[in-house]
Each structure stands twice: as structure tokens, then as C-alpha cells.
Chain A
Amino acid sequence: MRNTIGTRLTIGFGVAALMLVGLTLYTWSVSRQSLESSVGNQSVFLADSLMHSFDQKIHRMIEEIQKEVDREIYQQTLVESNRAFARQVNRDEGDGQKTAASRQKRINKNLTDHLSKMFLEYPEKQYGYSQYSNIVVTNRYGIVIAQTDDNTTDRLGNETGWKEAAKKGTYVGRVINHPEHNHGVFPIVVRIDDDEGNMLGLIGVMVVTQDFFREVELFVKPYRSTRIHLMTREGRQLYSTQTFKFWADLSGTKKYRKINGEKGFFIAPKGDRNCLPSPTRWGLRISRTTTGS
């Protein structure tokens, strides 16, 4: 096949043009990936920052609770309750602790009033709302001695949260649906120790998640194009800066299925468009002053 010089030159320039096209597309693709990566990493950083603020908020709550339970009313009430429970156990050797518990089923009204006043009434008066609900105090045996809501359970000693808090000092539980109020709550359980570090009992509060969402709204307000979704690890929707249905099951969505690992970002379809979500799994980090430190 005979190729003229003109043909060869045309082919040469064509190849150069194609290479230019390739280089352009590659540059554009790299730029796109870089921007995607940059925005993704920024999003992850934003999510991390939010999570960190959540972490700090819960940390402050725990510290507030710890400070609160150092009051005399808790210490004294729990010491008396523990002593009475111990005597009751000794008298009812045959029936054991179960019998003693049923006999001990008496709510300390003073402590209950104090709990309502400190955790519910005061914040509502001060801030217009309370981030806590259903505050419960048990003695060292897990027997409920004070509670702000009606509770059919008089013994919480066998609950996982109680065991964990008794063992480690604090416990933060999973978010659960609170159907009555159409929002989520999660428990915080804090061990109550005497001055010598002996366990006197435990206090548990249910934290309303709404307060966290207010923080998110304030956080993302400057960023109009930023959307925040908060969900449980099982895919239950807790919050979104867009219209959302609380506790909706998102586990079947493509976006949820693409979430892998601790953090990352990806392109996912959303309606007739694509979106760039950057999910971050949040493992709550709580610091507390350990004994002897």
C-alpha cells in the first residue's frame, strides 16, 4: 500500500491530535478525580469534626452527670439503700435477692424529685428544653431507687448497660426509637462511687438526639450545598438536613450498601442525578478520669 507524504503527515498530525485528546481527557479525568477526592476528603473531615463535636458533647454530659452524682443526696440515699438492701438480704436468706428486691421496691421520693428538678425542670426553665428523659438511679444491687418516668422494671442490675457501667464506669448505648416523641434516644449510664471509689450505685439517663441535630443544623448552616444524613449502623435514619422520615429503613438503598470501612466517599445515584456522599462511622470515644490517674 502506497502512502503519500501528505497522508503520512496527516496521520502524524492526527496521532498528535489524538494524543492531545487523550492527554486532555486524562487531565480532565485526573482533575475530576482530584476534585472528587478533595471534596470527599473535606467531607470526611467535616463528618469527623461533627462526630468529634458529638463525642465532646456526650463527654460533657457524662462529666455533668458525674459531677451531679457527687452531691450528698445521691451519696447518702445510695448508702442507706445499699445498707437496707444488705440487711434485707441477710433476713431473707431463703428467698434470696429476688424477694429482697420486691420488698425494697420503694422509690425514694426526695431523690426522684431532685432528679426531675436537676435534669428536666431546670434545663427546660433555663434553655426551653431538656436533652434528658427517663432518669433512673439504682443502688449497687441494681434496684431502682429513683426514676423520673413510670417504670415497670424495678431491677436493672442484669441489663447490659448496667453491667458495663458497673464494670467500666460509663456506658453509652445505641440509639433507639422513641415512638411517642418521634425521635431517637440513647442511654448513658454512669457509675456512682463514694470518695474512696467504692461503687454505690448507677445513674442512667436517656439522651434525646434532637439536641445533636440542632448542633448539626447550626454547623452546616453556612454550607448551603452540604447535606448531612445521620443514621444508625443498621441503616435507620435518624436525621437529615433534608426532608426525612425518622427511623426510615435505608439499609436497602444503594448508598447504604456502598458504605464500607470506617470512612470514605463514593459516587452514588440519587434520583436522576449522582451525589457524592462521604460516610463516617462513628465510634464514640469517651475519656474519663480513671481511678488512680
Chain B
Amino acid sequence: MGFEDFKDYDWILMVEYDEAEVMGPIFDLGIRILMVFVLLLLIIVAVGYYISRSITQPLKALQSGVNIIGSGDLDHRIQLSSQDEIGDLGKDFNELTLNLKQVNRTVQEKQDQIEAENWLKTGQAELNHQIRGEQDPEALSQAILNFLVPFLESQTGALYLHSGPQKLALAAGYAFPKNREDLSRISFGEGFIGQCALEGRPLHLTDIPEAFLTVDVGHVNMVPRSFMALPFFFEGELKGVLFLGALNPFTDMQQRFLAGVLDTIAIVIHAGQSRLRLKELLEKTQRQSEELQSQQEELRASNEELEEQTEALNRRKPI
């Protein structure tokens, strides 16, 4: 069997379809794909927004927290609910802030301590400066009050000195009523100050009722709300009582300062009293010396007179 190809006599047969008809299913598929795509796009956008937000929101919260903490508020805590690396970072940052606060507190405490020490030393140095020189006890007392009351931010003060058996005498006052007879001399056990002298220990009163003691600050009377009475001793002997009144309670530092300077005050007052007694003794001795000298003069004059009388007698009776 052989075959022959009659290529010269070819026909063209064309099978034809409408593209829209043939491609109808694919266009339908395209529409379905488009719908699915739109749906997927919406899901992607929603998921993307959620994921983006779940990352950026904690970061923004962290950034905001860092800014607040950076501005100095170490008590601020970053609240992150995300259980991921950002959440861990927030926890770490809170821990870091806590540690930083601890360190700051320690530093602050050290600084406060240093400042307190400085304040104490400055106060003591200033007090020493105020009480330099040879002053009598009253002048010293006034100088002490003039320094202590403003330095301790008090409003009033008085310094009583031991002036006899079971007695205290007002030596100096600072915005203190000096004309009140009942306050110029106080017996031991009398009132707050006398009780302090009796007990020989510091007394501290706060929340004082009104009109207990008013401080004259011109035309206005202020009522101190806190009082302190501190006895000071020299070699076991009560030298006096320091009384202070303030509108605010005395701080530990102020009390510590007062406790530190009481010995100095006692010494200074004792020295002042000693000087005063010495001066009085000197004056007395001087007076006695002058009297002796006068008596001597009188005796010499008497002697001379006697001698003259003797010589006169001798001359009268020639022997």
C-alpha cells in the first residue's frame, strides 16, 4: 500500500469558536479568582494590620514608657500584655528601671547623708564662730539663740541657765516673751522646761494646743506646733535648758544637730560662767587689795604719825 500526497490541491478547513464562548469558563474562573483574591486581600490587610499593630503598639507603649522614665519618673511601669520578645523587653526595662531607682535611691541617700553631714558641720562651725570670744553667759546664750533659731527654721527659742538650787533663769530669748514673770524664772519640774531640767533628758512636744505659746511676728501671733526642751550638762552638772519652738515638727537631722551641739553649748556656757566668776573674783581680789593697800596706807600713816609722836616724845624728854 502506497500513499501519495496531493499537496497542490489543499483546502483549508477552519474550525472556529467564539472566544467569549470558549473562554467563558476561564472568565468565570477569573471572576472567582478575583473574588477570592479580594477576599484574601481583605484577610491579608486585616491580618497585616493586626500583626503590624501587635508589633507597633507595644513598641509605641515601650517608647512612651521609656520617654516617661527618661524624663525622670522612675516609678512609672511599662504595661505590656504581649507575650513575646517585646513583652520580655518591657519586663526587662521595668526591672532595669527598678534597679535604676534603687541605685538612685542609694545615691540620693548617700547624697542626703553627705548634705546632712555638711549641714551638721556647717552648723557646728557657724555656731562655733558665733560663740567665739570671751563673752558672758547671757551674751553667749543670746548669740547661740540668734544662730540656732533661724538655722533650725524655728520660730522662737529661749535659753535658761541653772541659777541656783532647782532653779532656772532666763538667760536669752528669741521671739520669746521676756516680760512674763512666770517665764523669767522657772523651778525644776515647773512646766515643760522645768520638767526637762528635772528629768535631765530632752523633751519633745508636737501638736501643741493653740495659745500655749504665741510668737510675736509683728502684728501677727503665730502658734508654734512643735516644742523641744534640751538640757545640757558639763561634767554631769546641769548647766541649763535650751528651748525651741517651731511651726513644723523638728526633723531627725535637726534633733541630731542639737544633740551634737549641746555639749559645745554646755562647755561654752560653763566657760562663760567660769570667766564671769573669775572676773568677779578678780574684781573682788582687786577690791580687797585696794582695801589692804588703803589700810596699809592708813597703817603707814599711823606708823608715821606714831613715829613722829615717838620722836616728839623723845625730843621732849631728854634723857
A contacts, CB < 8 Å to B: 4-6, 9-10, 13, 16-17, 20-21, 24, 27-28, 31-32, 35-36, 39, 43-44, 46-47, 50-51, 54, 168, 170, 172-175, 186, 225-233, 238, 255, 259, 267, 270, 273-290, 293
Contacts and interface: CB of A to CB of B under 8 A. Distances in A.
A279 B10 CA distance: 12
Given A10-B52, A20-B40, A225 B18 contact: yes
Contact of B15 (A10, A227, A285): A227
B301 interface: no
Contacts of B41: 17, 20
A273 B9 CA distance: 32
B84 interface: no
B189 interface: no
Contacts of B26: 28, 31-32, 35
> What bracket does the count of chain B residues touching chain A fall in?
35 or more
B54 to A, nearest CB: 10
A32 B16 CA distance: 17
Query: Max chain A CB contacts within 10 Å: which of B14, B23, B30, B34?
Result: B14
Contacts of A24: 33-34, 37
B98 interface: no
Given A27-B33, A36-B23, A50 B13 contact: yes
A230 B16 CA distance: 11
A172 to B, nearest CB: 5
Given A20-B40, A28-B26, A238 B17 contact: no
Contacts of A273: 18-20
A39 B17 contact: yes
A259 B13 CA distance: 11
Contact of B13 (A10, A230, A276, A290): A230
B6 A225 contact: no
Query: Max chain A CB contacts within 10 Å: which of B4, B37, B41?
Result: B4
Query: Max chain A CB contacts within 10 Å: which of B13, B23, B30, B52?
Result: B13
B235 interface: no
A5 B55 contact: yes
A293 B11 contact: no
Given A20-B44, A277-B15, A277-B16, 10 more contacts: A35-B22, A227-B15, A228-B15, A229-B13, A229-B14, A273-B20, A275-B16, A281-B12, A287-B3, A288-B4
Nearest to B20: A273
A173 to B, nearest CB: 6
Contacts, number: 168
Interface of B: 1-23, 25-26, 29-30, 33-34, 37, 40-41, 44-45, 48, 51-52, 55-56, 59
B86 to A, nearest CB: 11
Contacts of A36: 22-23
B23 to A, nearest CB: 7
B56 to A, nearest CB: 5
Nearest to A286: B4
Contacts of B33: 24, 27-28
A228 B6 CA distance: 23
B31 to A, nearest CB: 10
Instruction: Please list the 7 inter-chain residue pairs (A to B) with the smallest Cβ-Cβ separation, ordered nearest first.
Output: A13-B48, A274-B19, A43-B15, A229-B14, A9-B52, A277-B16, A227-B16
A108 to B, nearest CB: 30
A242 to B, nearest CB: 9
A175 B11 CA distance: 9
9 contacts: A9-B55, A28-B33, A36-B22, A47-B15, A50-B15, A225-B17, A232-B11, A238-B11, A285-B6
A281 B1 contact: no
Contact of B29 (A28, A46, A170, A279): A28
Given A10-B48, A225-B18, A227-B17, A31 B29 contact: yes
Contact of A35 (B13, B23, B48): B23
Contacts of A173: 9
A6 B54 CA distance: 10
Nearest to A281: B10
Contacts of A5: 52, 55-56, 59
B3 A278 contact: no
A282 B116 CA distance: 116
A51 B13 contact: yes
Contacts of B18: 225, 270, 273-276
Nearest to A46: B15
Contacts of A230: 11-14
Contacts of A168: 4
Contact of A290 (B2, B8, B48): B2
Nearest to B36: A24
Nearest to B6: A284
A47 B1 CA distance: 25
Nearest to A33: B26
B16 A28 contact: no
Given A10-B48, A35-B22, A47 B13 contact: yes
A281 to B, nearest CB: 5
Contacts of A270: 18
